[in-house]
Structure 1
Amino acid sequence: MTTAPTTVNGQVIGQAHYATRALLEGLLVQSGATFHQTLGLNYVATRGGSADIGAIVDALVGGVKIEAELARTVVDELIAAKLLEAAPGDLVRFTDAGAELHANTRAAGAELTVRLYGDIPAADLETAGRVLALVTERANSELAAS
């Protein structure tokens, strides 16, 4: 399916984001995890399976623009669900269940990514990536200044 050319703006970007997020959240229903929880697990995974609680909170606040209190609640939910467990210091680490959930959600997300982006030329994806990274950088700068 091909659509008419569209000028990139906040509305177009938002529509793509919300449509994709709705699909992702549909995949998550089966796992019982929330979108924010999977982002917390992703952060831990990028740190080798353990991470500082404050760093997870900061990553959620900075990445998805939620309040620190909600981000800390997400970490607490992951611990309560036994997906993360306390480690020495202010660290948490994957439990076996957390590592398995992360692997499963990443695999499902990868399949979705192929369906959504698989036939888009690499050069178009690279250009879109650069543009969106620049817009994100500018918006984050304005948020920091306000």
Structure 2
Amino acid sequence: MSHPPSLNGQVIGQAEHATRAVLDRLLAGAGVDFHDWVALNLTATADAPLGRTRLADRMAGALKIDDGIALATIDGLTDAGLLTVGAGTVALTDAGRARYADIRAALDEVTARLYGDLPAADLSTAGRVLATVTARANAELTRAA
């Protein structure tokens, strides 16, 4: 009888790389990249309108990238007609909302295939453990800076 591996960086990395490859393929078909998707998703799901700087800060924090890269992504999406920046806020355009909805629907289908038959208790435990590891890694990055 084989035993599942213990949770460690290698197992987390393998899962992240595999799921990211699936996501990247889906995004490429929609004409956006991962940074674009994060900007669209953060804009679409924000509780309140985000300013350009706040959106860039959220992207930089989530992706561990430089603010300049995040701002360039926002500018690229604005140039592509998917985002609009005005009156201090960033919003999805009609084309941006349509692109977001298409990607979200496709992603929901993939997510159902990947996670749909896993027990809710297992997903809850994994989510809790990974959130703890993420918080500790973020604290470590703060300490090292």
Q: Normalising by structure 2, what TM-score?
A: 0.93
Corresponding residue for 2:29? 30
What is the distance in 2 between the residues matched to 1:142 and 1:5? 28
Corresponding residue for 1:16? 15
Corresponding residue for 2:70? 71
Corresponding residue for 2:98? 100
What is the distance in 2 between the residues matched to 1:123 and 1:36? 31
What one-letter code is carried by the residue in structure 2 that aligns with 1:27? L
Structure 2: gaps of 5 or more residues: none
SS in 1 for 2:65: coil
Which shows bigger deviation, 97-106 or 39-48? 39-48
Structure 1: gaps of 5 or more residues: none
Q: Say whether the 8 Å CA contact 2:52–2:85 is kept in structure 1.
A: no
Corresponding residue for 1:144? 142
What is the distance in 1 between the residues matched to 2:127 and 2:31? 31
Q: CA deviation at 1:49?
A: 8.2
What is the distance in 2 between the residues matched to 1:60 and 1:95? 19
Q: Say whether the 8 Å CA contact 1:50–1:94 is kept in structure 2.
A: no
Corresponding residue for 2:60? 61
C-alpha RMSD of matched pairs (Å): 1.4
Q: Say whether the 8 Å CA contact 1:37–1:74 is kept in structure 2.
A: yes
Corresponding residue for 1:115? 113
Q: Say whether the 8 Å CA contact 1:84–1:98 is kept in structure 2.
A: yes
Structure 1 runs, 4 residues or longer, greater than 3 Å off: none
What is the distance in 2 between the residues matched to 1:116 and 1:94? 28
SS in 1 for 2:117: coil
Correspondence 1:135 to 2:127 = no
Residues 48 and 95 of structure 1: CA distance in aligned 2, closer, same or farther (over 3 Å)? farther
Residues 81 and 48 of structure 1: CA distance in aligned 2, closer, same or farther (over 3 Å)? farther
Identity of aligned residues (%): 48
Q: Say whether the 8 Å CA contact 1:49–1:94 is kept in structure 2.
A: no
What is the distance in 2 between the residues matched to 1:104 and 1:94? 14
How many pairs align? 143
Residues 39 and 23 of structure 1: CA distance in aligned 2, closer, same or farther (over 3 Å)? same
